[in-house]
Each structure stands twice: as structure tokens, then as C-alpha cells.
Amino acid sequence: MKKSEHPRSAVLFLHGSDRNTARFCAGLALKADVTVAAPDLRVAPEAPWPAALEDALSAYNHLCTNADDLGVNPERIVPGGDGAGALLALALVRNEYETTGEKPAGLLLFYPFLAPEGENRGESWKRYGTEFGLDAEAVTAFVDDWIADAEDRKNVSPFRAGTEGVPPTLLVVAGCDVLRDQGLAFAAKLRQANVPVRIRRYNGAIHGFLTRPGLDVFFRQGVEDAASFLGGLPGGK
């Protein structure tokens, strides 16, 4: 295979419980002129923790190892994810930093699930806990299936972990999402630690706007914000 003379940035986008991220990934690839990889991760209850993280790490290592053949700049690989996939992206970044001392160029987090121990749920947990696309009870049941062990939940919680390995981050929350306030709480933690973070709050949006039909205005804004963020990272495209 002929190697590219102008390797491109790449996004490794990790899905949450909804695998249907193809439209967003295709839109981002076109808008930002980047390569987007979206691995099909194993999910609970058939494959509980840490299966999905193992899949994510394998995909990330494949991108890095084969960057030349794929026409990708290995220094411009940006992990990202939506919902539970955002927690996976953070766990991947943390693992990379602890293993190699390096961190990726950036990080994309959309309506992230970040509280496996139930911390920092905030007012949105009660206000939007039913009838807004994702119910609080469903989140609790999902976590019980996905990360059943209390020690695993503790270890993966970004609210317990340090922020040293977290790169510049785009964090997007939906205004009417049960997970909104934990996302905002984590953004505040990053800011307090002087980690560059761009926060976007889509008022009126519900959880899953990247994959749900009928939410095109928020979908398009998500593509625009992600493309703008990627273009603003050091080194451009």
C-alpha cells in the first residue's frame, strides 16, 4: 500500500449502548476532513467490564501501529465517544498515559456517562430522570450489568482519577439529559486543573441526539462543534 504524503488526523469514536453512530462518524469525517474509526465494541450483559475497554484499547493500538499504512498521523489520533462510550474514551486516555506517559491530541465527549459510582449526578438526575430519552432507572440497570464490581467502578471513575493525562477536551451536554450535570461537574474539574476544555450545552436537546431520528438541529451542531474543535488543535488537520 502506498503511504500518504499528507497523513490525516483520525478520530477513534467509541459507541455507548447505541451502536448507531455511523451517520455522525461519516458526517464528521467529511466536515473535518479526518479519518474516523468506529469499532464495534462488545457490550453488556453478554460482555461485561472490561471487555469494551479491551476492544477500545485494541482499536487504538491498531490505529497507532498501522498509522503509516492507514494514512494517519499517529500524533493526531483523537479518542472520543458518546454516553458510556465517553467513559471508555476517558479510560483509554488514562491507560495510555499510565502506560506510556503520553496523551493524545484531544478528546471528544458527547453527553457523557461519567459517574459509575453514582457521584455528581446533580439536579438533572431527578428533573430529567424519566421521559427525556434516557431514564435514571435504565442507567442504574445498565451499570449493574456493565460494571458490576464496586472496585472496578471505583477504578474507572474519572471523578476519582487525576487529570494529568487528559488532553484538550470538547465536552458536549444535552440540556434535558439525566446525565447533564455529571458532565458539567467533570468539565469543572478539568477547568480547575487547568486542562483546556471547550464546553457546549445544547439547550432543549435530549440524550442520544447524535443517533436518534428527528433531532437534526442538534446532530448538525454536534458535527460542527467537533469539526471546529479538531481544526483548532495544534497542527491543524
**Domain assignment of residue 237, yes or no:** no
In this predicted model, what pLDDT tens digit does every residue of 112-163 receive, in sequence order?
A: 999 999 999 999 999 999 999 999 999 999 999 999 999 999 999 999 999 9
In this predicted model, what pLDDT tens digit does every residue of 23-78 receive, in sequence order?
A: 999 999 999 999 999 999 999 999 999 999 999 999 999 999 999 999 999 999 99
**Phi and psi torsions of 197, nearest 5°:** -140, 130
Residue 170's CATH number? 3.40.50.1820
Owning domain of residue 212: 8-231
Alpha-carbon distance of 229 to 227, in angstroms, equals 5
Number of folded domains that form the chain: 1
Alpha-carbon distance of 99 to 53, in angstroms, equals 15
**Domain assignment of residue 2, yes or no:** no
**Domain assignment of residue 124, yes or no:** yes
**Domain assignment of residue 96, yes or no:** yes
**Domain assignment of residue 3, yes or no:** no
* Beta-strand pair 197-202/8-14: unpaired
**Phi and psi torsions of 92, nearest 5°:** -65, -45
The DSSP annotation for the chain comes to: -PPPSSPEEEEEEE--S----HHHHHHHHHHHT-EEE------TTTS-TTHHHHHHHHHHHHHHHTHHHHTEEEEEEEEEEETHHHHHHHHHHHHHHHHHS---S-EEEES----TTS-S-TTHHHHTSSSSSS-HHHHHHHHHHH---HHHHHHH-TTTS-STT--SEEEEEETT-TTHHHHHHHHHHHHHTT--EEEEEETT--TTTTTSTT-HHHHHHHHHHHHHHHHHSTT--
In this predicted model, what pLDDT tens digit does every residue of 190-230 receive, in sequence order?
A: 999 999 999 999 999 999 999 999 999 999 999 999 999 99
**Domain assignment of residue 20, yes or no:** yes
**Domain assignment of residue 183, yes or no:** yes
Predicted TM-score (pTM) of the model is 0.96
Asked whether the bond before 50 is cis by omega within 30 degrees of 0, the reply is: yes
Alpha-carbon distance of 115 to 186, in angstroms, equals 10
* HSE-CB of 114 using CA atoms within 13 angstroms: 29
